[in-house]
Structure 1
Amino acid sequence: MLAQKQDLTSLFVNGGYDWSSKAIYAALDQRGTDLNSLEQELGLKKGSMRNVFYRQCRSYEQVIADRIGVPPSIIWPSRYADKVI
């Protein structure tokens, strides 16, 4: 008998809230990469992509989300929320 697979996502990510930097690092690590590797691949200065944790950087957000395998709006819902006037 196989054990039922648990969804432990809620331990690291709160639905509807931006992911913490630790959750992003863990998700990248799970995919076999890190920010330093992404910076090297893109020819960016070391530490450049860390700006994504402090301010909106759509191109960096997209690269990180693509590598993790989810849309950027899942990682940063506050940055991609529909603005209703």
Structure 2
Amino acid sequence: MLAHKQDLTHLFVDSGRDWSSKAIHAALDQCGVDLSSLEQELGLKAGSMRNVFYRQCRSYEKIIANRIGVSPSIIWPSRYSDRVA
């Protein structure tokens, strides 16, 4: 009998706030992938996708969000805010 993977993101993700790097890593792990394998798959330099944790990188954000199965605005709401300063 196969055990189903549970969605436990609600335990470490605050709604309306950017996900922590640990939450992103955990969500990717739940999908059976990590940043290193994504980089290899896409032909990127090792460690390049880590930039997404420190600054806005729309292309990497989209790749990660697609793998997790959510919109980038769910993971990084502060980066996709419609508010005008």
Please state which band the TM-score falls in when normalised by the shorter chain: 0.7 to 0.9
Q: How far apart are residue 40 of structure 1 and its match?
A: 0.4
More helix, by proportion: 1
Question: Is there any run of 5+ residues in structure 1 with no aligned partner, and where?
Answer: 1-5
Q: TM-score, normalised by structure 1?
A: 0.88
Q: Secondary structure at the match of 2:26?
A: helix
Bigger Rg, structure 1 or 2: 1
Equivalence map 1:16-55=2 (5 Å): 16-55=16-55
Question: Are residues 7 and 42 of structure 1, via their aligned partners in 2, closer, same or farther at CA, if it must alter by over 3 Å?
Answer: closer
Question: Is there any run of 5+ residues in structure 2 with no aligned partner, and where?
Answer: 1-5
Number of residue pairs matched by the alignment = 80
Q: How far apart are residue 11 of structure 1 and its match?
A: 1.6
Q: How far apart are residue 10 of structure 1 and its match?
A: 2.9
1:22 and 1:7 mapped to 2: Cα distance? Answer: 15
Give the RMSD, CA atoms, in angstroms: 1.6
- Aligned-pair identity in percent equals 80
